[in-house]
């Protein structure tokens, strides 16, 4: 029986079938669903770690202890975990370890589109790339076998298009595997990477790459599909699908292992086709490796100009992009493109992602905007505070960056007060060391911890502040106030994020303090199920509205300009969409004419009726 | 069997993902290889959301190229304009007669296109445009959130798939206590469109 699964779900299934016992990850789009899905299988341990580096250490520990292990992260998560990646490559392990990197071509929800195949070469690891969910499932088991046979972690690279596409998968059963060691290994020469031991390990991992390249020659997921030999395409990952779709006649060498490359297989394929091209997303990773083998790669009529040939290095591929590039390089006739009618639409209003109606970050940004100070952002829903009309985020680089950046600007002595905003989960991830650094070095940064009691951006995962683990067990619930006091912050304020006056006063107190301070703005994400049950749409009494738009300037999507106008100014009045409003009362607090009814007023109306 | 490429376009929170899940599953149930790709940005709500669903004997790319979509299902009118260039000339557009005003209109200077302009733009690509008032129908049933299933019902009227398959798949996918409501929504949508 075949089932539709995303590649993320298929990886989870594959890990379960192949006897993975321990999995640890930090949520990050597009990888998050792998662990959410894996955690639901019987007989496994799965956890949300506080960050990707911790997650990888946990998986490595399990593999050292002789149990098959999995860790998953988005591409930039591997930067956080890179230190662990490199030592694990040096030590090898006792049981299979798969590291899943879900890359994000097109940056659907990321700050860059780094190509993590480069980590495989950098850290001397094999890299496997599936082309659909079925292969994703199979390659997890294959990766674990390679891991154990060659004593190496294995990188399994997905991309957004695989992670978030459902294709048919044949399900299998779980094969239980006994631990590969009887007790935890005491083997310092292999596992204690002091220089004397590490120097002996380095030649071993270089030799391992050579053996893997030999293995790749007959690896069944590296295979040629012969067609017309005038064009040969080397491809991998989801680009394999585009190769088949756009060039149905061509010969195709599909690489399921993209590092190290099978030298003879590539050279033989190249020798038997008239023209060889490489079709891959993002970096010219395969192209560079193939050129290093001395194989000629066709680059189009202009010849090789360096960099990537024919297909774009930026953004996601799709059949349209591939076809257009192929026509441009003379590989396909112009008539190969389907007729597209591009109607004259005129300017269409953009629909950017926005902070949701009822978002507890909104009132905090209303007050931060009022302060006119530079605000350093971080990674989470609150990054959307950058958009107009809130326009209150002035940098956002990576997880945990904001506090350090704010401190750097502070000690640079530009005379302004500096503020960092960070979410609850991101604070645990990498914010804590940065805040300790502010305290230790006598900085004056104001840190706003926007505590919405969940990891909202990636879809409401638990974290150390929620009191629940990934597998639903009750656990400690970390409170921020004692935590930041323990980090040495003396000026700490905790307010309800929905209470605008309280946010304003606490922010003023932080700014008046001549030292580090923390403002914790606490309120559950409006989309959490228990909060949804309390939604109560508010209403505008139109006769009282004077069209000042103080409410509109919060950027709440539930507010819209009415057809009715305020006669004195001719400005449109404001109405509330009852399908969207949650009843957070932020707009009601800002309304100078008391035209927006509070929940208590609405409830009173209901009970009167 | 005829290959069919669908594009579902809407706004985060409208239930396009559930609808595309159902559509892909129905494709599998009638014997196609189906693939479903979701393209959504950062926000859970409020941003543009697009799903590609492809039915075929053999499907390679999960994404459909511009000019190759047979049926565009727009859950929101502006999103119909934004995605109509994906439509094969002469293909079918099913439009939910609902406007969700983006923030760039409410608090920026942008203007939401009026119905006349929307009709004129769609007419440049195809004559086959079907309008469904999904929100009104769902509202009559007592829950505006089932508009997505009303749209699925309307879509089903354009396809040669037994109604029972649609209903079985929908029932598997929605919460048990909403099965009756969703059945009604599907039926009302199916009646709202004629082939």
pLDDT digits (tens, 9 = 90+) for B17-45: 999 999 999 999 999 999 999 987 665 66
Question: Residue A209 to residues A99, A189, A263: CA-CA distances in angstroms?
Answer: 17, 20, 13
Residues 6+ apart with CB under 8 A from A36: A459, A461, A470
Would you mind telling me the total number of residues written for chain A in this entry? Answer: 609
Catalogue all structural domains in chain A, each as residue range(s) with its CATH number: 2-217 (3.40.50.970), 222-335 (3.40.50), 361-531 (3.40.50.970), 535-608 (3.30.70.20)
Q: Say if residues A73 and A100 touch (Cβ distance below 8 Å).
A: yes
Domain B4-192 in this protein, CATH class: alpha beta
Give the model's pLDDT for residue A607.
Answer: 80
Query: How much of chain A is helix, strand and coil, in % rounded to 5?
Result: 35, 20, 45
pLDDT (tens digit, 9 = 90+) per residue, B62-107? 999 999 999 999 999 999 999 999 999 999 999 999 999 998 998 7
Give the model's pLDDT for residue B1.
Answer: 65
Would you mind telling me the total number of residues written for chain B in this entry? Answer: 195
pLDDT (tens digit, 9 = 90+) per residue, B109-140? 899 999 999 999 999 999 999 999 999 999 99
Give the model's pLDDT for residue A609.
Answer: 66
Helix axes B179-192, B147-156, angle to 10 degrees: 50
Give the model's pLDDT for residue A222.
Answer: 98
Residues of chain A where predicted confidence (pLDDT) is lower than 50: none
**Which residue, A166, A165, A167, A145, is CA-closest to A156?**
A145
Give the DSSP H or E segment for B71. strand B69-74
Among chain A residues, the shortest Cα distance to B47 is held by A353
Is A313 exposed, middle or buried (CB count within 10 Å of its CB: 0-12, 13-18, 19+)? middle
Give the model's pLDDT for residue B45.
Answer: 65
* A-B C-beta contacts closer than 8 Å: 167
Interface of B with A in 160-179 (CB under 8 A): none
Looking at the complex, report in whole angstroms how far the Cα of residue B113 sits from the nearest Cα belonging to chain A.
8
Of A241, A351, A357, the CB nearest to B11: A351
CB contact under 8 A, B110 and A561: no
Give the model's pLDDT for residue B194.
Answer: 79
Give the model's pLDDT for residue A169.
Answer: 98
Looking at the complex, report in whole angstroms how far the Cα of residue B84 sits from the nearest Cα belonging to chain A.
8
Residues A90 and A125: their CA atoms lie apart, in Å, by: 10
CB contact under 8 A, B65 and A338: yes
The complex scores an ipTM of 0.96
Chain B residues touching A547 at Cβ < 8 A: none
Interface of B with A in 136-165 (CB under 8 A): 144
A168 touches chain B (CB under 8 A): yes
Domain assignments of chain B as residue spans, ordered by start:
4-192
Among chain A residues, the shortest Cα distance to B105 is held by A349
Give the model's pLDDT for residue B42.
Answer: 60
Helix axes B163-173, B179-192, angle to 10 degrees: 140
Residues A460 and A430: their CA atoms lie apart, in Å, by: 19
Mutation target vs B (from A2, A321, A349, A357; most B CBs, 10 A cutoff)? A349
CB contact under 8 A, B60 and A242: yes
Of A4, A161, A349, the CB nearest to B78: A349
Give the model's pLDDT for residue A38.
Answer: 98
Interface of A with B in 350-369 (CB under 8 A): 350-357
Give the model's pLDDT for residue B140.
Answer: 96
Residues 6+ apart with CB under 8 A from A346: B113, B117
Give the model's pLDDT for residue A370.
Answer: 97
Q: What are phi and psi of A540, to 5 degrees?
A: -100, 130
Q: A196: helix, coil or strand?
A: helix
Looking at the complex, report in whole angstroms how far the Cα of residue B81 sits from the nearest Cα belonging to chain A.
7
CB contact under 8 A, A457 and B36: no
Across chain B, mean pLDDT equals 94
**Which residue, B76, B191, B96, B187, is CA-closest to B141?**
B187
At B2, is the pLDDT very low, low, confident or very high (cuts 50, 70, 90)? confident
Residues A493 and A499: their CA atoms lie apart, in Å, by: 13
Of B37, B106, B113, the CB nearest to A561: B106
């Amino acid at each position: 029986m075949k089932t539709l699964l995303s590649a993320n779900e298929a990886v989870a299934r594959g890990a379960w079938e192949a006897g993975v016992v321990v999995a640890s990850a930090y949520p990050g789009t597009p990888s998050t669903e792998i662990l959410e899905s894996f955690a639901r299988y019987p007989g496994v341990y799965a956890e949300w770690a506080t960050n990707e580096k911790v997650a990888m250490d946990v998986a490595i520990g399990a593999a050292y202890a002789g149990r098959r292990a999995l860790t998953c992260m988005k591409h930039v998560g591997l930067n956080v975990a890179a230190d662990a990646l490199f030592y694990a490559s040096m030590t090898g392990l006792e049981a299979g370890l798969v590291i899943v990197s879900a890359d994000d071509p097109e940056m659907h929800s990321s700050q860059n589109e780094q190509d993590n195949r480069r980590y495989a070469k950098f850290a001397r690891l094999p890299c496997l790339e599936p082309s659909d969910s079925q292969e994703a499932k199979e390659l997890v088991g294959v990766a674990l076998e390679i891991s154990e046979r060659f004593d190496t972690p294995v990188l399994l690279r997905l991309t957004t298009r695989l992670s978030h596409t459902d294709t048919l998968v044949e399900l299998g059963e779980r094969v239980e595997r006994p631990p590969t060691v009887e007790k935890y290994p005491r083997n310092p020469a292999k596992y204690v990477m002091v220089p004397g031991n590490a120097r002996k390990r380095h030649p071993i991992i270089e030799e391992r790459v050579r053996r893997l390249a030999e293995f790749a020659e007959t690896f069944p997921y590296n295979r040629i599909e012969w067609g017309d030999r005038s064009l040969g395409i080397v491809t991998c990952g989801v680009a394999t699908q585009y190769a088949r779709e756009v060039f149905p006649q061509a010969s195709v060498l599909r690489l399921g292992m993209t590092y190290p490359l099978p030298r003879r297989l590539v050279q033989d394929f190249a020798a038997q086709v008239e023209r060889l091209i490489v079709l891959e997303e993002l970096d010219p990773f395969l192209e560079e490796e193939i050129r290093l083998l001395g194989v000629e790669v066709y680059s189009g009529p202009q010849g090789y100009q360096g960099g990537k040939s024919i297909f774009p290095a930026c953004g996601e591929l799709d059949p349209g992009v591939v076809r257009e590039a192929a026509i441009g390089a003379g590989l396909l006739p112009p008539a190969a493109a389907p007729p597209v009618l591009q109607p004259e639409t005129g300017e269409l209003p953009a629909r950017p992602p926005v902070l949701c109606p009822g978002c507890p970050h909104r009132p905090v940004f209303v007050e931060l905007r009022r302060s006119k100070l530079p605000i350093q952002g971080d990674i989470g829903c609150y990054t959307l505070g950058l958009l107009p009309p809130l326009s209150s985020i002035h940098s956002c680089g990576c997880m945990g960056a904001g506090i350090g950046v704010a401190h750097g600007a502070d000690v640079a002595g530009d005379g302004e007060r500096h503020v960092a905003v960070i979410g609850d989960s991101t604070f645990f991830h990498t914010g804590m060391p940065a805040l300790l650094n502010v305290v230790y070095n006598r900085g004056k940064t104001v840190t706003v911890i926007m505590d919405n009691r969940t990891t909202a951006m990636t879809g409401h995962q638990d974290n150390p502040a929620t009191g629940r683990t990934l597998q639903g067990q009750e656990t400690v619930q970390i409170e921020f106030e004692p935590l930041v006091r323990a980090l040495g912050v003396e000026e700490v304020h905790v307010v309800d994020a929905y209470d605008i006056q309280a946010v304003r006063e606490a922010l003023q107190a932080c700014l008046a303090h001549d030292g580090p301070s923390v403002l914790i703005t606490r309120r559950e994400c409006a989309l959490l199920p228990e909060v949804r049950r309390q939604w109560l749409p508010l209403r505008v009494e139109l006769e009282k509205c004077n069209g000042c738009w103080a409410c509109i300037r919060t950027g709440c999507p539930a507010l819209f300009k009415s057809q009715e106008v305020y006669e004195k100014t001719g400005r449109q009045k404001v109405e509330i969409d009852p399908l969207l409003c949650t009843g957070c009362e932020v707009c009601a607090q800002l309304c100078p004419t008391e035209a927006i009814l509070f929940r208590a007023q609405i409830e009173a109306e209901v009970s009167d009726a | 069997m005829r290959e069919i490429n669908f594009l579902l376009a809407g706004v985060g929170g409208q239930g396009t993902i559930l609808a595309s899940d159902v559509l892909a599953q129905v494709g599998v149930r009638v014997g196609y290889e189906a693939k479903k790709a979701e393209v959504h940005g950062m926000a859970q709500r409020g941003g543009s959301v697009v799903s590609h669903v492809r039915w075929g004997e053999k499907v390679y790319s999960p994404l459909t190229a511009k000019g190759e979509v047979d049926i565009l299902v727009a859950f929101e009118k502006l999103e119909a304009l934004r995605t109509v260039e994906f439509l094969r000339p002469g293909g079918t557009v099913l439009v939910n007669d609902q406007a969700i005003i983006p923030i760039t209109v409410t608090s920026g200077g942008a203007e939401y296109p009026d119905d006349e302009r929307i009709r004129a733009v769609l007419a440049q690509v195809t004559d086959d445009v079907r309008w469904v008032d999904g929100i009104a129908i769902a509202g009559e049933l007592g829950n505006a959130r089932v508009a997505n299933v009303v749209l699925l019902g309307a879509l089903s009227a354009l396809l040669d798939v037994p109604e029972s398959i649609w209903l079985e798949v929908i029932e598997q996918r929605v919460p048990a206590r909403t099965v009756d409501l969703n059945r009604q929504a599907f039926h009302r949508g199916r009646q709202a469109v004629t082939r």
